[in-house]
Amino acid sequence: MIELLRLENISWNTPDGSGILHDLSLTVPDGKLIVITGPNGGGKTTLAKIIAGIYKQNSGRLFLDDRDITDLDITERAKLGISFAFQQPVRFKGITVRKLIELAAGEKLPLDRICSYMSKVGLCAEEYIDREVNSTLSGGEIKRIEIATVLARHSALTVFDEPEAGIDLWSFASLIKTFEEIRNTLNGSIVIISHQERILRIADEIAVVADGTIKAKGRPDDMMKLLAENNSVTGKCFRQEEMF
């Protein structure tokens, strides 16, 4: 199996010295959808931001397609093909949805291309294309527009931080279909931080992060059974509904 991303012995501390990640190592195969789950406060989002270059690890190294990206910042990593979708997407007053998607794609796009990206996230392009990406959009709308921009980038590696956060049930169902479509036509890899069982079940692999390290990693069927039967794998006891 070809390896796209490799993290070696990653550690990260908060400014006050509290340890969040401890000597964590992880590989992401090329062309796969990996879901990272685990209890709140275990280090999942910190790990995602280190991959994107938003946070700088205290120790350890990162490799993208065997290239050492340890010292590259978020802009340099983005140029190499790493995209990051925030749990709470950024709003851009004065920028239209069309312009945002074109900026992500790096070129001016015909309407049918924009419609294709928008329809994949359950939005009608004609209703949104000229709207500003500002506070007039709901949380679910802004989340789906952000995912459309990620699709337009065709990144080698895309990291989603809890994409289900703040969206309604209909939007969530549409989101699952979008991820399933991406997974079936994948050109690159996806890492999703999530607690949601339906997202875990469409993964190629699931990794459990707790207490700042990888507690377990494997295929969905094996991992779902392990998580249901043995909460000790997470390093903490917590209710199943908190996992999913």
Q: What is the pLDDT of residue 231?
A: 58
Residue 74's SS3 state is: helix
pLDDT in tens, 36-86: 999 888 999 999 999 999 999 999 999 999 999 999 999 999 999 999 988
- Is the pLDDT at 228 greater than 70? The verdict is yes
State the average pLDDT over residues 224-235. Answer: 69
In a domain, 172, yes or no: yes
In a domain, 239, yes or no: no
Q: What is the pLDDT of residue 154?
A: 82
- Confidence category of residue 230, pLDDT binned at 50, 70, 90: low
Q: What is the pLDDT of residue 85?
A: 87
In a domain, 132, yes or no: yes
Q: How far apart are CA 18 and CA 30, in angstroms?
A: 33
- Is the pLDDT at 126 greater than 60? The verdict is yes
The tokens describing 121, both together, are 């996230």
pLDDT in tens, 142-180: 888 888 888 888 889 999 998 887 676 667 777 788 788
> What is the CATH number for 63?
3.40.50.300
Q: Which structural domain range is residue 70 located in?
A: 3-197
In a domain, 240, yes or no: no
In a domain, 234, yes or no: no
Q: What is the pLDDT of residue 203?
A: 94
pLDDT in tens, 16-27: 989 999 999 999
Tally the domains of the chain: 1
Q: How far is CA 224 from CA 67, 185, 220, in A?
A: 33, 24, 6
Q: What is the pLDDT of residue 241?
A: 38
Q: What is the pLDDT of residue 53?
A: 97
Q: What is the pLDDT of residue 183?
A: 75
Q: What is the pLDDT of residue 121?
A: 79
In a domain, 140, yes or no: yes
For residues 174 and 17, the answer to whether their CB atoms sit within 8 Å is no
pTM of the predicted model as reported, rounded to 2 decimal places? 0.85
pLDDT in tens, 191-202: 999 988 889 999
In a domain, 89, yes or no: yes
Alpha helices in 70-207 (DSSP H): 74-79, 97-105, 111-120, 125-128, 139-153, 169-184, 197-200
Query: What does pLDDT average to over the chain?
Result: 86
Number of H helices, E strands in the chain: 10, 12
- Is the pLDDT at 237 greater than 50? The verdict is no
DSSP one-letter code for 124: -
- Confidence category of residue 32, pLDDT binned at 50, 70, 90: very high
Q: How far apart are CA 211 and CA 99, in angstroms?
A: 41
In a domain, 18, yes or no: yes
For residues 41 and 21, the answer to whether their CB atoms sit within 8 Å is no
- Is the pLDDT at 129 greater than 70? The verdict is yes
